[in-house]
Structure 1
């Protein structure tokens, strides 16, 4: 059974990305995966303070909710991250989490001395995002950020679910095809992890 961590990075509990992630989780569970949900809005996670306490063993020294999440991320086979777009990037909640994973970067590339680009992905990640505008480059920045976030977790960015033109809470409900796409992505991730 695949073990997946689903991280809700939206400041809204019932926002469009949260709704899409709910459908992706349903899809993964329907395909036999065990999914644990984490709502970043409910966590107390400091930004990275760049004090490099992680140079000792790759573990962040700031004691807050990130510590438990650090372990959950490393224990999971797959990860789903959902975040709306804010100024062509992920939400502040998601970015705080990602920045705290600098400790994992330190562990991988400084302590363990892994050569960049010379590692094999052992796990898979799914990124779900929506933005209000129709901007051509709307997802360019977030995709690069998420790719490198998954890198420190030894994950490949396996799938994405990205939709433009969604802003207000509930907009996604007007697009059942988007909900189906998210559910299918969750199923696909679960299947890929079970192979």
Structure 2
């Protein structure tokens, strides 16, 4: 059975992005995947302190809850990440976690000396996001950030579910189209991983 990690990056426990992520999780489970959910606000994760102790072995020197989530990430074939938009990027909880993955960047590109942009992606990533406005470029900053975050995890940005014009808690429940899109994306991710990995 393929394994997927679903990361909730919202500061709200029952936020709109988390509601969509739960739909994707339900779809992936229906599609036959094992999905483990991680709510970042429940963990103690320090920002990257740029100590660069990671240049020795690719491991972060800060002792907190980050390695626990990293272990789950590295054991997964698929990644679901959900975050609302803050100032045209991801939430602080999400960005802090991403920045701690700098140790993985060091491991991949400094220690292992892989060529930038030429590494083979072994994972697939789904990004789910919600923003309050209807701006054309609302998700541009977050998408660029997520693309390169997924890269250090050897994952491609396989699919996105992006919802504009939603802000207040629970508003996304009135968007049946997006809820259905998220569910379908989760199910498709499970199936795509199964095909790629030879599961039946």
TM interval, short-chain normalised = over 0.9
Residue number in structure 2 paired with 1:3: 3
Deviations 1:135-175 (A, max 9, x none): 11110000000000000000000000001000000110111
- Is 1:175 the counterpart of 2:161? The answer is no
Distance 2:134 2:178 in 1: 16
The 5 A counterparts of 1:108-119 are 108-119=108-119
Q: Deviations over 1:25-66 (max 9, x none)?
A: 000000110000100010100000000011111111101110
Runs of at least 5 residues in structure 2 that lack an aligned partner in the other structure: 196-200
Structure 1: where are the runs of 5+ without partners? none
What is the deviation of 1:76? 0.5
Q: 2: CA distance between counterparts of 1:177 and 1:139?
A: 19
1:125 aligns with 2:125: yes
TM-score norm. by structure 1 comes to: 0.99
CA distance in 1, matches of 2:134, 2:28: 29
Equivalent in the alignment of 2:34: 34
- Cα shift at 1:119: 1.1
Partner residue, 1:100 = 100
Would you say how many aligned residue pairs link Structure 1 and Structure 2? Answer: 195
In 2, the alpha carbon distance for the partners of 1:168 and 1:50 equals: 35
Q: Distance in 1 between matches of 2:70 and 2:22?
A: 22
Residue in structure 1 matched with residue 198 of structure 2 by the alignment: none
Where has structure 1 moved over 2 Å in runs of 4 or more? none
Alignment RMSD: 0.5
TM-score, reference length from structure 2:
0.97
Aligned-partner Cα distance in 2 for 1:177–1:75 = 32
1: CA distance, partners of 2:71 / 2:174: 37
Q: Which digits, 9 at most, give the CA deviation of each residue in 1:64-118, with x for residues without a partner?
A: 1101111111110010000000000000000000000000000000000000011
